[in-house]
Structure 1
Amino acid sequence: MYLTLLTLHSLVRWFVLISLIVSIYLAYRGWLKNKPYTKSDRIIRIITVSIAHTQLIIGLWLYYISPIVDYFLHNFKESIHQTQLRFFGMEHITMMLIAMTLITAGAGIARRKKVDKDKFKSTAIWYSIALLIIFTSIPWEFSPFTSRPYFRFF
């Protein structure tokens, strides 16, 4: 179960990143070029939030069953001083929860705006901040905190 969830979490991360990048691109384009907010813009916003929430559910489930997190929580005093254990036990989940909150808030704020330019602006700003947090909190192969492969296979 753990390996399956880990692989799924690794795969869905790319869908999150792609959907966020597409949403941000369309939001900045709409905002800066005064485009009308269309049904496809709304659908892309909803898809982005849905993918992000799916990743959040997988991540929380993974956090609950992870042997790394279990070790971190049961050996907190020692683990807090080990970069890799601290990253997965505390930093990764905290930053991703913040990013998911920003994505959700940004989508909700954009949905309630009456002016198309304001919808695009809200989406662009909130999603951009979330993407920055996500980029800094993913365990990339080049990360100074911990290293994981770009693609994890079963």
Structure 2
Amino acid sequence: MYNLILPLHSLVRWLVLLSLLIAIYRGYQGWLGKKAYNKFDDNLRQTTVSIIHLQFIIGVWLYAISPITNWFIHHFSEGVRLREIRFFGMEHITMMFIAIALITVGSSKAKRDITDHDKFRTQAIWFTIGLLVILSSIPWAFSPLVHRPWLRGF
């Protein structure tokens, strides 16, 4: 199961990033360009949050079956001193949970805002903050601290 969930988590990461970037772009474009918040923008907001929630479910499932996190949980005092083990056992999931909470709150606030200007502004700001947290917590292929491949095969 682990060999299926890990590549799936890696693949959905790109959908998360793509949908967030589009939603953020539309948010700033609408906010700064004083555009109307239309059905497409609302569907994009909902779809982006749905993809992020799907990724979170896959991530929690992966966390539950991962040999790295299993070792971290059972050897916590040793694991917190090992950068890579600590990253996957504690840092990655914590930061992603924070990012998902930020994006979910931002989506909920944007949905409830009255004016189009406020909807776009709320979406742009909250989604950007969430994206920055996500970008800081992905094990990028180029990271000197903890790195993984750009995309894992099934």
Give the TM-score of the pair, scaled to structure 1: 0.99
C-alpha contact (below 8 Å) 1:87/1:145 kept by paired residues: no
Match of 2:31 in 1: 31
Match of 2:83 in 1: 83
Q: C-alpha distance in 2, partners of 1:19/1:35?
A: 20
Match of 1:120 in 2: 120
C-alpha deviation, 1:145, in angstroms: 2.5
Q: C-alpha distance in 2, partners of 1:22/1:39?
A: 15
| Stretch deviating more after TM superposition (140-149 or 18-27) | 140-149
Structure 1 residue ranges, 4+ long, deviating more than 2 angstroms after superposition: none
Alpha-carbon RMSD:
0.5
C-alpha contact (below 8 Å) 1:30/1:37 kept by paired residues: yes
C-alpha deviation, 1:144, in angstroms: 2.8
Deviations 1:124-154 (A, max 9, x none): 0000000000001000011132110001002
User: Any gaps of 5 or more consecutive residues in structure 2?
Assistant: none
- The alignment partner of 1:34 has SS state of coil
Q: Percent identity?
A: 56
C-alpha contact (below 8 Å) 1:92/1:138 kept by paired residues: yes
C-alpha deviation, 1:3, in angstroms: 1.1
Match of 2:52 in 1: 52
User: Any gaps of 5 or more consecutive residues in structure 1?
Assistant: none
Q: C-alpha distance in 2, partners of 1:99/1:119?
A: 19
Give the TM-score of the pair, scaled to structure 2: 0.99
Count of aligned pairs: 154
